[in-house]
Amino acid sequence: MEGAARIMIVAGEASGDLHGAALARHLGRLAPAVSLSGMGGSRMAAAGVGLLADVSRLAVVGAGEALGRLPGLYRAFRALRRRLREHPPRAVVLIDFPEFNLRLARTAQRLGIPIVYFIPPQVWAWRPRRARLIARLTTRVLVVFPFEVPLYESVGARVEFVGHPLLDGLEAAPSRREAREGLGVGGDATLVGLLPGSRKEEVERLLPEMAGAAGRIAEARPGAQFVLALAPTVDRALVDALLAAAPVKISVVADGAHQVMAASDLLLVASGTATLEAALIGTPMVVCYRVSRLSEVMGRLLIRIPWISLVNIVAERAVVPELLQEDAGAQRLAAEALRLLASAPECQAQRAAFAEIRGKLGSAGVGERAARSVLEVAGLPA
């Protein structure tokens, strides 16, 4: 058939771009003749994926925020759908981003194209009926948490636990000493890392509060230093503008999240994949998040678990503090940060829980296992 050596990969957010890039590199190594295309960001493009749509222009936070991005999302959907029809690949790999990807999956299924869902949506947290829909649409589901296996098996999905892809990416993470040397931070200096998110709305809501908290921390702990890890999907000009009124100097490191995590004594971090990365690196943290009022109301109605951070969800208990909505203000953020900085036992308790979490997520080699599974579904040799 036409396109016998094509695979499409579709990711809709910064974390999906990261995992899609890792998958693409392994696919390229195992099957060099395969042509990759789809939707992603700079990392996937660098890994050899021909982008039909750029994720950095499309990622959104919550239902209310999505309205302004609908035209761009619709254009991306049409481009991908047209490619599926005109040049059908041997398989489509979907990475999270369910509102978009489940619609695309229907098109692929009607065309008879096998579908692999790598990192499926968190149906265990909300909208559990989606598990049946995913089972019906997909050829194989590659899950990253072991507790997802029985959930998908119960609805008839062919599911495989490959482990969490962060385990592969963190193999190259620097040590604390290496990270501090790279940032020019003295060994004894208190360093607080800021990770305000990978999407424009997250940064706009959280960074001013994080910067305010940094000022309060500096007042209580003179000599403390602050560094922000800039996600590749966030415009540097936006961050610079938001930091212009910051009460203390905050250095900005582009695309250096692991370096910031490894070097810091404490992190102020937006809820998301970064919390799990920080836990695997072993850095204590305060998690925060803010969404629009509409998204908050919808979340309270739909979310079925008591936590929002992946750290607490995987640990199945409150390991790290979570500050949400109005509580995620500068004063509360600073108070929680200062409390942790002053309490070695609490920081050690977080690190002990992080070690437990690492044990639940499988072993390195996730990208290769996922790539081999995709090639098997596509009927292509590795």
Query: Is pLDDT of 64 > 60?
Result: no
Q: Are residues 177 and 145 in the same domain?
A: no
Query: Is pLDDT of 260 > 50?
Result: yes
Q: In what order do the strands lie in the sheet with 35-40?
A: 50-54, 35-40, 6-11, 91-95, 115-118, 140-143, 159-161
Mean pLDDT value across the chain: 91
Report yes or no: 82 and 59 within 8 Å, Cβ to Cβ: no
pLDDT score, position 1: 40
- For residues 226 and 13, the model is more confident at 226
pLDDT score, position 382: 87
d(CA 195, CA 218): 18
Q: Are residues 123 and 71 in the same domain?
A: yes
Report yes or no: 142 and 119 within 8 Å, Cβ to Cβ: yes
Q: Are residues 84 and 179 in the same domain?
A: no
- Quick: pLDDT tens for 94-131: 999 999 999 999 999 999 999 999 999 877 656 678 99
On whether residue 318 sits in a domain, the answer given is yes
Close Cβ partners of 7 (under 8 Å, ≥ 6 residues apart)? 27, 34, 35, 36, 89, 90, 91, 92, 93, 374, 378
Query: Is pLDDT of 144 > 80?
Result: yes
On whether residue 353 sits in a domain, the answer given is yes
Q: Are residues 193 and 56 in the same domain?
A: no
Q: Are residues 314 and 216 in the same domain?
A: yes
Strands 266-270 and 191-195 turn out to be: parallel
Query: HEC profile for 293-325?
Result: HHHHHHHHHHCCCCCCCHHHHHHCCCCCCEEEH
Closest by CA to 118, choosing from 88, 87, 139, 147, is 139
pLDDT score, position 125: 56
Q: How far is the first Cα of the chain from the last one, in angstroms, to the nearest whole number?
A: 19
Q: Are residues 125 and 12 in the same domain?
A: yes
Query: Is pLDDT of 288 > 90?
Result: yes
Query: Is pLDDT of 37 > 80?
Result: yes
On whether residue 312 sits in a domain, the answer given is yes
Q: Kindly report which listed range (256-270, 305-319, 330-344) carries the lowest average pLDDT score.
A: 305-319
CATH of the domain at 298: 3.40.50.2000
Query: Is pLDDT of 68 > 60?
Result: no
pLDDT band at 333 (very low <50, low <70, confident <90, very high): very high
Query: Is pLDDT of 295 > 60?
Result: no
pLDDT score, position 218: 98
On whether residue 24 sits in a domain, the answer given is yes
d(CA 43, CA 301): 35
Name the token pair of 3: 């396109």
On whether residue 192 sits in a domain, the answer given is yes
Name the token pair of 303: 């979310």
pLDDT band at 71 (very low <50, low <70, confident <90, very high): confident
- Angle between helix 366-378 and 14-30 (nearest 10): 70
pLDDT score, position 121: 87
pLDDT score, position 115: 98
- Quick: pLDDT tens for 223-237: 999 999 999 889 999
pLDDT score, position 291: 77
On whether residue 263 sits in a domain, the answer given is yes
Q: Are residues 25 and 105 in the same domain?
A: yes
On whether residue 1 sits in a domain, the answer given is no
pLDDT score, position 280: 97
Query: Is pLDDT of 301 > 50?
Result: no
Q: Are residues 48 and 176 in the same domain?
A: no
pLDDT score, position 343: 97
pLDDT band at 305 (very low <50, low <70, confident <90, very high): low
Query: Is pLDDT of 66 > 60?
Result: no
What is the domain count for the chain? 2
- Quick: pLDDT tens for 157-215: 999 999 999 999 898 899 999 999 999 998 789 999 999 998 899 999 999 999 999 99
The range of the structural domain enclosing residue 298 comes to 172-360
- Hunting for tokens 């385990």 — which residue is that? 167
Q: How many other C-beta atoms lie within 10 A of the C-beta of residue 345?
A: 7
pLDDT score, position 233: 83
Report yes or no: 8 and 89 within 8 Å, Cβ to Cβ: yes
Q: Are residues 349 and 374 in the same domain?
A: no
Strands 266-270 and 285-289 turn out to be: parallel
Q: Are residues 353 and 372 in the same domain?
A: no
pLDDT score, position 72: 87
Query: Is pLDDT of 244 > 60?
Result: yes
- Hunting for tokens 């049409």 — which residue is that? 78
On whether residue 315 sits in a domain, the answer given is yes
Q: Are residues 87 and 229 in the same domain?
A: no
- For residues 140 and 56, the model is more confident at 140
Q: Are residues 304 and 177 in the same domain?
A: yes
CA distances (Å), 65 to each of 98, 120, 126, 237, 317, in order? Answer: 16, 22, 19, 21, 30
Q: 40 by DSSP, 3-state: which?
A: strand
pLDDT score, position 17: 92
